[in-house]
Amino acid sequence: MKTIIKAENICKTFGSGDAECKALDDISLEIKEGEFVSIVGRSGSGKSTFMHLCGGLDKPDSGKITVNGTVITDLNANKLADFRCKNTGFVFQAFHLEPKYTVFDNISVPLLISNTPKKEIKEKVNSVLEQVGLTDKIKVKTAKLSGGEKQRIAIARAIINNSPIIFADEPCGNLDSTNSDIIMTMFEKLNSEGKTIILVTHNMADAKRTKRIITFKDGKKIDDKTN
């Protein structure tokens, strides 16, 4: 398997002076194509910061990050946005859906950004809604969905562009155990279909369903084991 994410000597600090906080302290690690990896640790351990850097949502103070063959730490804002659109999908704890928009409109956003033809948008939205089992919700405004349904729509949006990598930051954090199981089962299926998935979580039950667990503490990687 080829390396799809490679982080080399990553450092990231927030604040300054007495308020300075070193979120990541010389982190280096590799993730292979097709892996299902969880990054665990207490709040403030640096796990979400690391995900944001590897996903191109932020830049490190120093170090090098290569994703799917591209050194993303060298890209300007426009090229980075284009790279994210083609290579990554994101699922967040807070869903980040527009409540006044319909399910169709929410899922369509990445396709609109990439100038996909209207006919193709409709076909792709229908396809991913079938994958997440919510075809009957296509015209419903997301404000009317349950938490579990919202997260399934967020996953549909994350995979709409067929991106090879999915980053999930505490995707089950706002869900009950039944819906958490549904979401984790969906990630397992996507991984079995070849997607590389990086799950950030504090829930060890969810982490144990992944194939590899990386533990962060105080901005450092302290453990890395295969399940």
Does a structural domain hold residue 22? no
In a domain, 17, yes or no: no
pLDDT tens digits for range 14-63: 988 878 889 999 999 999 999 999 999 999 899 999 999 999 999 999 99
40 part of a folded domain: yes
Domain count, the chain: 1
For residue 68, pLDDT beyond 90: yes
Residue 109 lies in a domain: yes
Q: Mean pLDDT across the stretch 205-226? A: 96
pLDDT over 90 (residue 94) = no
Q: What is the CATH number of the domain that holds 85?
A: 3.40.50.300
Asked whether residue 208 is assigned to any structural domain, the reply reads yes
Query: Which domain does 203 fall in, by range?
Result: 36-60+76-226
Residues 167-202 pLDDT 10s: 999 999 989 999 999 999 999 999 999 999 999 999
Q: Is residue 96 part of a domain?
A: yes
Residue 13 lies in a domain: no
pLDDT, tens digit (0-9, with 9 covering 90-100), for 115-170: 889 999 999 999 999 999 999 999 999 999 999 999 999 999 999 989 999 999 99
Buried b / exposed e across 67-89, counting CB within 10 Å, b at 16+?
Answer: bbebebbebeeeebeebbbebbb
Tell me the pTM. 0.93
